[in-house]
A = this chain, B = another copy of it.
Amino acid sequence: MNSCAPFVRKTFQLVSDNTTNHIVSWCNNGANFTIWNTQAFQKQILPQYFKHNNLCSFVRQLNTYGFHKINATDAVDGLEFSHPSFKQGAKHLLAKIKRRKSKAKKSDAQSSPVVQDANQLKVAEALISLVKRQQESEQLLMSVCAELQEARSVINSLQSGDKMASPSLCGKRAYEEVEVGPSYPVAKKLKSEENLFSVPTQEMFSFDELFQPTQSTCAATMREHDAPIDFDIKELLLDF
């Protein structure tokens, strides 16, 4: 029943106490509450419920628990606050009022990344190095594939004289995943590489969720349906 935070329970009690309505009371038909006399509230009310007599500390707690101040209008003065689960006579709603956690900084495109300790810095550096290494691997792969294509063109032109197949090339292949014969066009071969590179869809994580591609590279021409690897690592670390 009384599973709400001590601060919320005490605030409900002091607002509901009809003997002090001239200092603090429900208002707006029980939807909000108002501190009518801040001096009396500080000196007479707060010390009865809390370990201080500062209105600022009380308001700080209200904010921590998600209360909002109502802008003063011409009709009423006093300090008025509201919370969707803090209503007159509704004790059962108080358990829904939760203390706000110290929030992790959300990414702001302008702000610089905050890396909080040496270990997280190391993780960041690991990611950066790994991404660089991956880019280099993929570029090198492209260049070697281009060379292979040229070599096969040479073979085809050399063989055009006798139209003979080349059994030795097919027989000595070391890695079975590369099933490309001499007459197989390189464009088709690169299509099969896409399957090897792409992250399987059954995994709970995809690159696109985390990494915002910031520029296109030659790798994009090779892997059309996969996110480029050159995401902005700083973007990711903003959420740390």
Known contacts A148-B147, A175-B139; decide if A104 and B133 are in contact (CB<8 Å): no
Instruction: Identify which of A11-19, A29-37, A70-78, A123-131 touches chain B.
Output: A123-131
Please pick, from B129, B133, B197, B205, the residue contacting A136 in the complex, using a CB distance under 8 A: B197
What sequence of 0s and 1s flags, for each residue 27-57 of chain A, a beta carbon within 8 Å of any chain B beta carbon? 0000000000000000000000001100000
**What's the nearest-Cβ distance from chain B to residue A96, in Å?**
23
What sequence of 0s and 1s flags, for each residue 170-205 of chain A, a beta carbon within 8 Å of any chain B beta carbon? 001111011010100000000001001101000111
The interface residues of chain B lying within 8 Å CB-to-CB of A139 are 175, 177
Please pick, from B119, B169, B177, B239, the residue contacting A140 in the complex, using a CB distance under 8 A: B177
What sequence of 0s and 1s flags, for each residue 228-240 of chain A, a beta carbon within 8 Å of any chain B beta carbon? 0100000010011
Pair B180/A147 contact, Cβ less than 8 Å: yes
Please pick, from B127, B140, B147, B158, the residue contacting A130 in the complex, using a CB distance under 8 A: B127
Please pick, from B125, B172, B204, the residue contacting A204 in the complex, using a CB distance under 8 A: B125
